[in-house]
Structure 1
Amino acid sequence: MSTGETARIALRSLVANKLRSLLTALGIIIGVAAVVALMAIGQGSQASITSTITANGANLLTVRSGSSNSGGVGGGVGSSQTLTTEDAEALADTNNVPDASLVSPEYNGNGQLVAGSLNTSAQIVGATPSYLEVHNASIATGDFITNENESSRASVVVLGANVATTLFPDGDAVGQSIRISGLKFTVVGVLASKGGSGFGSTDDGVIVPLSTAQRTLFGGRAISGGSALVSSIAIQAKDSESVDAALSEIQQTLRTQHNLAEDGSADDFSVINQQDQLDSLTSTTRTLTLFLGAIAAISLLVGGIGIMNIMLVSVRERTREIGLRKALGAREADILKQFMLEALTISLVGALIGLTAGLLIAFGVNISGLISAVPSASSALMAVGFAVAVGLGFGIAPARSAARLDPIDALRYE
């Protein structure tokens, strides 16, 4: 019997039992949909993290108070502040750090912002004019902090895109007045949106002159022993090849500044390489994505077991049909081929339906705006391929059982 004729018999059998065929494929449908959707969400999270970190600036090194050995990345909340504006000035000296192109000292805090009847809480960053270029930010409307603002401790503020939308929904923020922790500030500009959140995103924060943050907004905390403290210092290396050299120069300069160079004391600061941070987070999200995909793939195995069980029942129900076909000349290979084609058809159709469902779920997740989902051709092909392989693998036992039936015993079966 030709393969084409065997295929037609297999398809007629499946069509004649539509509900059973659909229920048999249900496990495959759910499994493939789960794999595609979860892999898309994992890859979307990875892409979002990568985009947000790289948007903060190229070839970026960040110095924070506290040793990375004792305080984690950047020392963490509660670490004593050991960095000052004098440290930033030393790092900006090309004699000390010749491989750095720009230095941005920053003081971070939080405060309540009020504009008329509207209010919101936001991160407040005290910064100098170099902040804009170091962090690859740009102005949407108005101006950024100027050297004159910095030297005069001006009460001016630049709003992040989301903050501007919250406080001034009509869109005319520049020139307006707001209150930050009870103090009056004039809005001089609004930053262009970068998208994303966390990892230093500027959309949900505001920027004031560094001197204003240190001496006016956070004076009690930002001044120690006559020195103005900074929360962090962002340094942009000249190029990607200069990052390692700049990191070494930064460490040596700060050890000298903090009188640590001669006595061998541990660093009281940590230098974070943006690329190392990105690699670490990417590795973590990749592992999580694969873990989610592996969990979802278990449902494909369950679907394969369902195919095997339903087809074993089908063999039992069709014993007389199989006996009649064999009595009329069908070979064991023909019966084996028929049931394997049925298993292949069920798993393939189920995989395609599941793929469509998974892509729709990913699309719905993107529409919701809660998280990002990025479907990929590789994960889709992997899910469909694995589903077909599972269907064929679990279809072997029922197919062999059918092929080995004795035609005489099969025809006597009631």
Structure 2
Amino acid sequence: MGWSTFWLALREIRRNLMRSFLTVLGIVIGVAAVITMVTVGNGATRAVSDQISSLGSNLVMVRPGQRLGPVSDTAGAQMFKEADAQALATQLAGISAVAPAQSAGVTAVYGGRNWATRVTGSTAEYFHTNNWRVAQGRVFNEAEERAGASVCLIGETIRHELFGRQDPVGEQLRVRKFSCQVIGVLASKGQAAIGQDQDDTIVMPLHAVQRRLTGNQNVGTLLVSVADGADAERVKRSIGELLRERRKLAAGEEDNFSIMDTRQIADALSGTTKVMTMLLGAVAGVSLLVGGIGIMNIMLVSVTERTREIGVRLAIGALEREVLLQFLVEAVVLSSAGGLAGVGLAVVASYVLASLMGVPFLFDAGIALLAFGFSAAIGVLFGFAPARRAASLDPIEALRHE
């Protein structure tokens, strides 16, 4: 009986193929949208985690002011000095490296080309704390750091925009009114999680930037690399206590600096991405319900059109549950076919969107099975009322129906 009911359902669906296609379109779109949103969202979350990890291993960032982020609240806050970085490195346990950093916006010029970028002045520890690898050349040495030598390393974007295919190592790059010798090219990191191009950078010795660009001894950021196995939270508390002491803050005063590690940034950005994924998935799920309503509507129309057929079946001895099962199977077959088509469409759409957005393609088979199962459940839920109506028809009245 089961197979005969299934084949009867397929026959009725094939009889009105165009109507059946339009009926399941809502299910197709709903399933595809849900799976696509979740897949792309998972890829975006992974991309955020990878980008954050590229900032540095166990990195803690300390900046003046109360807010840390793309728009830092540093107005009026006391800036750091190089001695603060030295104090952190020598007086605290659980720290593998500390790099003071000061940045300035500049226009870099080579030959007939120029490019607006940022110069960061720091020590050789900067490359360790920020997880930078050198693709060509070398980093500046201790003697060049102390002397504030006019040497620099450039990011991949600077190399591409100013030097093209030419080897930049050994060339003189003009930054504002002075020249610096390019001694190295940094390995590419790509775009950061907040949209910033990490390769659009020039790194010079801290003293060179202070003397030639900023004109003071201020340090805008302290980059601290926590040693492997050390408790990051304990290290952050120690940093805060030492800086409060050095900045002479009383017990009741608020910190005039901000401390944040890469894990906090990753958690915040990943949490935002997951919330947006869930929200978009929920919105897409609404179209599944709309598709279910469409199936119920068409099944009611089908019951009306086939009233005489139902009357004949009931008159020759068909049971109510057999008629109920026939129409219920039709609804489930429709919704399941839409679910399968939606899964196939989602695979293609997810792959294309992931490629366009530059995020990993992380297809979740569990979500696909869940969405397909939900589409089949919608067929049962919304197909039951029309099936019940067909099964409860009076055979005599049904035979009289025109």
TM-score (norm 2): 0.93
Residue deviations 1:265-322, cap 9 Å, x none? 2211111122222222222221111111101111111111111111111111111122
Residue in structure 2 matching 1:271, options 259, 262, 270? 259
1: CA distance, partners of 2:71 / 2:231:
22
Q: Does 1:86 align with 2:74?
A: no
Deviates more, 1:204-213 or 1:285-294: 204-213
Query: Does the 8 Å contact 1:103/1:236 carry over to 2?
Result: yes
SS at match of 1:154: coil
* CA displacement at 1:166 relative to structure 2: 2.7
Q: 1:324 to 1:248 in 2, by over 3 A?
A: same
Q: 1:297 to 1:18 in 2, by over 3 A?
A: same
1: CA distance, partners of 2:76 / 2:280:
35
* CA displacement at 1:198 relative to structure 2: 4.3
SS at match of 1:254: helix
Deviates more, 1:267-276 or 1:97-106: 267-276
> What amino acid is aligned across from residue 341 of structure 2 in structure 1?
I
Q: Does 1:349 align with 2:330?
A: no
Deviates more, 1:39-48 or 1:128-137: 39-48
SS at match of 1:387: helix
| Percent identical residues | 38
Map of 1:398 onto structure 2: 386
Deviates more, 1:361-370 or 1:333-342: 361-370
Map of 1:229 onto structure 2: 218
Q: Does 1:305 align with 2:293?
A: yes
Deviates more, 1:208-217 or 1:19-28: 208-217
1:367-386 matches, within 5 Å, as 367-369=355-357, 374-386=362-374
**Root-mean-square deviation (CA), in Å?**
2.2
Unmatched segments (≥5 aa) in structure 1: none
2: CA distance, partners of 1:133 / 1:149:
18
* CA displacement at 1:25 relative to structure 2: 0.5
* CA displacement at 1:138 relative to structure 2: 0.7
* CA displacement at 1:120 relative to structure 2: 2.8
Map of 2:204 onto structure 1: 208
> What amino acid is aligned across from residue 36 of structure 1 in structure 2?
I
Map of 1:101 onto structure 2: 96
Residue in structure 2 matching 1:258, options 247, 272, 286? 247
Residue in structure 2 matching 1:181, options 168, 172, 176? 176
Residue deviations 1:338-385, cap 9 Å, x none? 111111111111112112222212211233245565432233223222
2: CA distance, partners of 1:368 / 1:273:
30
> What amino acid is aligned across from residue 231 of structure 2 in structure 1?
S
Q: Does 1:58 align with 2:57?
A: yes
* CA displacement at 1:23 relative to structure 2: 0.4
* CA displacement at 1:182 relative to structure 2: 4.6
Map of 1:319 onto structure 2: 307
Q: 1:252 to 1:324 in 2, by over 3 A?
A: same
Map of 1:192 onto structure 2: 187
Q: 1:309 to 1:108 in 2, by over 3 A?
A: same
Give the total of aligned pairs. 401
Query: Does the 8 Å contact 2:27/2:291 carry over to 1?
Result: yes
Query: Does the 8 Å contact 2:66/2:74 carry over to 1?
Result: no
* CA displacement at 1:184 relative to structure 2: 2.3
Q: Does 1:167 align with 2:162?
A: yes
1: CA distance, partners of 2:172 / 2:248:
44
Query: Does the 8 Å contact 1:45/1:371 carry over to 2?
Result: yes
SS at match of 1:330: coil
* CA displacement at 1:240 relative to structure 2: 4.4
2: CA distance, partners of 1:348 / 1:182:
70
> What amino acid is aligned across from residue 85 of structure 2 in structure 1?
A
